[in-house]
């Protein structure tokens, strides 16, 4: 049986064309659009100002695909991880990270991931499909509601650092950001400067971001400023070497004027020596930037482990001595597998193991 297409993937223009074709006034399209994107309805019957015969037509031609919440876990540090069940049964995860100054939503852009980074649990999952812009947007709405319910705060930041590689779902990621920054959309209206998209480093897509003059922040999962080491933990580095990434980053900065952030997970006896810090400092010279040094979160079945705190301190000190802005990120939500690199829904993992 072929199901009706998801109306959340249909443009306002096409909804208007449908409404007019069904002999209704064009303004009904705007009403329908507001019910979908401002009020987040799950059925056409909830659109109380839409004529019943048009509701019948909508039901005949379209569906509304919203996810359901499969499971919610709360960490002892206040972090909340949510497993969202999509309309086709796949599972994704999103995380609310509260601190004294911020409430951040960490959201997913794909079901699974094809990057196979050795330090990341999601990289062990098969990439099943890209998320629609509406599925990305709905994660933000749900996590925003959690922030209000649990902490009485609005979301202050959004990071595309959950499951998947955002730049391999380019169109839907950008469309979701367009909706998130729309002031009429479910009360979000977030500034793009409070949104960060993190990529493992796909040079041509970084250049495309520059050409599209994006206003949000860009973070690069670097983790080594040495091609040999980086290729060990990030296989795509074989096709996107540091030299090509440098070229793309310079291009991005020249086009947008934005400062890039380098994410650097520090691993014991792998990338934690002063020589590694010196290589990173040299890489940082190409454009204005800042560095997030991140504590590694073990995921099992890997040779990687957390670096010694003293080595981390020495590493950070060297960077700071080169006038580089450095933030040390401590793990949040580790006890519920919600920390950086740990998102791999257990249900999804077992589901995909049977494929």
Q: One digit per residue, pLDDT tens: the chain, 355 residues? A: 568 999 999 999 999 999 999 999 999 999 999 999 988 999 999 999 999 999 999 999 999 999 999 999 998 889 999 999 999 999 999 999 999 889 999 999 999 888 888 888 776 788 899 999 999 999 999 999 999 999 999 999 999 999 999 999 999 999 999 999 987 666 678 999 999 999 999 999 999 999 999 999 999 999 999 999 999 999 999 999 999 999 999 999 999 999 999 999 999 999 999 999 999 999 999 999 999 999 887 776 667 888 999 999 999 999 999 999 999 987 655 555 544 544 455 544 333 322 2
Q: Quick one: DSSP state of residue 179?
A: H
Q: Quick one: DSSP state of residue 2?
A: P
User: Under a CB-based contact definition with an 8 Å cutoff, are residues 146 and 154 in contact?
Assistant: no
Longest dimension (CA), the chain: 72
Which residue in the list 106, 117, 120, 340 is annotated as catalytic? 340
Task: Give which of 205, 237, 210 is closest to 222, Cα–Cα.
Answer: 237
Residue bearing tokens 């001595």: 321
CA 114 to CA 127: how far, in whole Å? 5
User: Under a CB-based contact definition with an 8 Å cutoff, are residues 262 and 241 in contact?
Assistant: no
Task: Give which of 163, 167, 154 is closest to 90, Cα–Cα.
Answer: 163
CA end-to-end span of the chain, whole Å? 22
pLDDT at residue number 189? 84
Q: What is the CATH number of domain 7-61?
A: 1.10.150.530
Whether 340 is catalytic is yes
pLDDT at residue number 186? 60
Domain-wise residue ranges, the chain: 7-61, 68-353
What Cα–Cα distance (Å) separates residue 323 from each residue in 152, 273, 277, 282? 38, 19, 13, 12
Which residue in the list 16, 93, 135, 263 is annotated as catalytic? 93
Report, in angstroms and rounded to the nearest whole number, the Rg of the chain calculated over CA atoms.
22
Tokens of residue 216, six digits: 């949000």
Burial zone of 255 (CB within 10 Å; 0-12 exposed, 13-18 middle, 19+ buried): middle
CA 35 to CA 29: how far, in whole Å? 10
348-353, long-range: CB < 8 A, 24+ apart: 348/90, 348/91, 348/92, 348/111, 348/112, 348/125, 349/124, 349/125, 351/89, 351/90, 351/91, 352/112, 352/125, 352/126, 352/128
Whether 120 is catalytic is no
The topology under which CATH files domain 68-353 is: TIM Barrel (3.20.20)
């Amino acid at each position: 049986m072929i199901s009706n297409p998801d109306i959340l993937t249909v443009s306002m223009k096409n909804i208007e064309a449908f409404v007019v074709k069904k002999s209704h006034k064009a303004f009904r399209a705007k009403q329908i659009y507001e019910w979908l994107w401002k009020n987040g309805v799950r059925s056409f019957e909830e659109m109380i100002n839409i004529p019943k015969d048009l509701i019948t037509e909508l039901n005949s031609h379209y569906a509304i695909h919203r996810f359901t919440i499969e499971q919610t876990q709360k960490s002892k540090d206040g972090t909340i991880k949510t497993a969202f069940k999509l309309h086709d049964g796949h599972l994704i995860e999103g995380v609310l990270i509260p601190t004294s100054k911020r409430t951040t939503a960490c959201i997913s852009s794909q079901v699974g991931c094809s990057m196979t980074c050795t330090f990341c649990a999601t990289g062990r999952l098969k990439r099943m499909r890209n998320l629609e812009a509406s599925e990305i947007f709905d994660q933000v709405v749900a996590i925003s509601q959690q922030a209000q319910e649990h902490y009485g705060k609005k979301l202050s930041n959004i990071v595309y650092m959950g499951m998947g590689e955002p730049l391999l779902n380019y169109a839907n990621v950008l469309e979701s950001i367009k909706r998130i920054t729309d002031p009429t959309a479910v009360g979000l209206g977030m500034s793009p400067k409070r949104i960060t998209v993190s990529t493992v480093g796909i040079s041509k897509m970084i250049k495309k971001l520059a050409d599209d003059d994006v206003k949000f922040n860009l973070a690069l999962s670097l983790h080594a400023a040495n091609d040999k080491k980086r290729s060990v933990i990030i296989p795509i580095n074989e096709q996107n070497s540091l030299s090509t990434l440098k070229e793309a980053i310079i291009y991005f900065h020249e086009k947008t004027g934005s400062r890039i952030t380098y994410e650097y997970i520090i691993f014991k006896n792998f990338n934690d020596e002063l020589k590694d810090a010196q290589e990173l400092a040299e890489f940082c010279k190409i454009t204005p930037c800042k560095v997030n040094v991140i504590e590694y979160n073990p995921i099992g079945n890997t040779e990687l482990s957390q670096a010694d705190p003293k080595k981390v301190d020495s590493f950070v000190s060297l960077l700071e001595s080169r006038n580089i802005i450095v933030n040390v990120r401590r793990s949040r939500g580790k006890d519920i597998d919600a920390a950086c690199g740990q998102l791999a829904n257990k249900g999804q993992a077992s589901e995909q193991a049977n494929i």
